[in-house]
Structure 1
Amino acid sequence: MFLIILGVLITILSYFIGRGDSPLTRFSTLIRAGGIVIILAGAALSMFKVVGVGQVGVKTLYGKVDNDVLYSGLNFINPLVEVTPFDVKTQNYTMSAVHDEGSKSGDDAIRILTSDGLEVTIDLSVLFSVKPKDAPRILKEIGDDYLDKIVRPIARTAIRDNAVSYEAVALYSTKRQEFQNKIFTTINQSFAKRGLQLEQLLIRNVTLPESVKKTIESKINAEQDAQKMQFVLQKEKQEAERKRVEAQGIADYQRILSTGLSDKQLQYESIQAQKAIALSPNAKIIMMGNGKNPIILGGN
């Protein structure tokens, strides 16, 4: 387009030069020819437009947006058409309390009030993309600065509107996934109406007030101490049970010995022991007295 305008200006200038008495008058025809060449070259170059990978081009002619988009590659267009590129790849818009980590510098985290009146800070990442066929509508209704006009305000509003239904500790722990699913649904519906596709929503961090954090830490420590004490008591109970069973076994054994063995049984066991000694090659048996109480002397 620039070359076309330049060529037109040169052609007009050559017309005025040709009508004057300037020393350049004799070159007016040559200048006019050069202007025409520049116009033709500019028109030829403007008829071809390269759209980058992962982009679509939206055509505009005198303020009117064409609903047909240009896809990546070389495209043949009207030289008077202006083309606005739109990125249709996955985009990441992050709002974080960490400086220079989010899409905006500084602390850009979302601060919300929960149902119990506590202020919670949330870091959020929104993964989304522009629907290629809806790029012309976005340009007409929103413009190419849809990040600040759509993505940021919708995401922050959805977080705040849904947070009022939860307590701070629940957002931090048990209800975190449920909360994330709710705001995903809310944002996705709003994006779909405006030509954007929500791909994923990530609650990266939930920061509780310092007083609540200390309360949670104290509770966790108390629970850990209780579990430790329960383990010790269980171990002592098992040890006591083991000793009780052992003592009962010893008592039962002694009771059996004291009540279950008769004199004949004991005499029989004694004879068996004496017999085993007598059969030993290194033992001799000497009977003394009436034989009821033999004395056994061993020797080689």
Structure 2
Amino acid sequence: MEKLPKSGIIALIVIVLLLIGLFKSAVTIDSGHAGVVHETLGEGVDPDKEALGPGFHIIAPWNRVIDYETRQQEMPEKMSVLSSNGLDIKLDASVLYEPDAANLGKLHNQKGTEYKSRVLQPAIRSAARSVVGRYTPEQLYSSKRDAIQDEILEETKKIVEPQFIQINDILIRDVTLPSTIKEAIERKLKQEQESLEYEFRLVTAAKEAQKVIIEAEGKAESNRILSASLTDKILQDKGIDATMKLAESPNSKVIVIGSGDSGLPIILGNQ
């Protein structure tokens, strides 16, 4: 077997090294991710340098890329906090967040890839303790939940946004109170509901009674006006009209004997 010349061996080694260097230099960033470049021969990550976006990139083979997901992510969090009267309240929440893509270099240098546990979790817990401590268990359980959720969001933003983390929303999925407190609140809410229903019935009944009174008063006034307008002459004319109609009926036999009051005939007998 013929040996390779020394120059050929050197060329082969150079080619292999170039291929290895090219392989280490080629970096692909996935969609929804970005990468910060750590310069091994320099000062690490340049905080002012723009991160690598999705796609194919070539870097120096002695450098490396630290990958960050830049899409919105969810962090479930279960917390135990105290209400304004010192009762233990358990919150089940979700935090929707993402790193500040424009400042990934600064985020990496200051907090690193573990920024979630170093910044986000302590911030949400601190904000929740601060906000929930202003409210009673009853407010947490019913009317104030949305307001509390918004306040926790704003408190968390104040802590994390200066540290290059973007908070999109905080969702409180469940509030767990001590069983005795929960039962007492539910009884009170039920009683309040029954009281409101009773008040509604009273108001409805009062309106119906007022309606009957108004109708009766209207009818009485109508009768008074009618009575005042009926003179003896009008009554006599109406009596004559009624007598004439009765006399014309084929089913009646009319006998007129003398006259009744007001000069009207007396009607006897019919079939």
Fold shared, TM-score > 0.5 on shorter chain: yes
The answer for the alignment partner of 1:72 in structure 2 is 54
Matches within 5 A, 1:184-203: 184-203=153-172
Partner residue, 1:125 = 94
1:60 to 38, 55, 71: 38
Q: Deviations over 1:108-129 (max 9, x none)?
A: x111011111111111111111
Aligned partner of 1:228 among 181, 197, 204: 197
Taking the aligned partners of 2:218 and 2:44, their CA distance within structure 1 comes to 100
Does residue 1:210 correspond to 2:179, yes or no? Answer: yes
Structure 2 stretches lacking a partner, 5+ long = none
Secondary structure of the 2:168 match is: strand
For residue 70 of structure 1, give the secondary structure of its aligned residue in structure 2. Answer: coil
Aligned identity (percent) is 30
Q: Which of residues 57, 60, 68 is equivalent to 1:86?
A: 68
Q: Work out the CA distance in 2 between the residues paired with 1:27 and 1:298.
A: 149
User: Which of 108, 125, 135 is matched with 1:139 structurally?
Assistant: 108
Whole-angstrom CA distance in 2 between matches of 1:117 and 1:138: 37
The separation in 1 between residues aligned to 2:203 and 2:119, in whole angstroms, is 59
Superposition TM-score, scaled by structure 2 size: 0.79
Change (3 A) 1:263 1:183: closer
Q: TM-score, normalised by structure 1?
A: 0.73
CA distance in 2 between partners of 1:171 and 1:142 (Å): 33
Q: What is the match of residue 3 of structure 1?
A: none
Shift of 1:33: 5.2
Give distance in 2, aligned partners of 1:258 and 1:134: 94
Shift of 1:36: 3.2
Structure 1 residue 183: Cα displacement: 2.1
Work out the number of aligned pairs and report it: 261
Which amino acid counterpart does residue 44 of structure 2 have in structure 1? K
Whole-angstrom CA distance in 1 between matches of 2:148 and 2:16:
61
Q: Which amino acid is the alignment partner of residue 66 of structure 2?
A: T
Indicate the SS of the match to 2:199.
helix
1:200-241 CA-to-partner distances (Å, cap 9, x unmatched) read: 122222222212211111112212322333344445445555
Q: Hey, what's the Cα distance between the residues in 1 that align with 2:248 and 2:237?
A: 17
* Distance of 2:103 and 2:257 partners within structure 1: 122
Aligned-partner Cα distance in 1 for 2:204–2:54: 71
Q: Deviation of residue 39 (structure 1)?
A: 1.0
Match of 1:14 in 2: none
Task: State the Cα distance separating 1:79 from its structure 2 match.
Answer: 1.4
Q: What is the match of residue 293 of structure 1?
A: 265
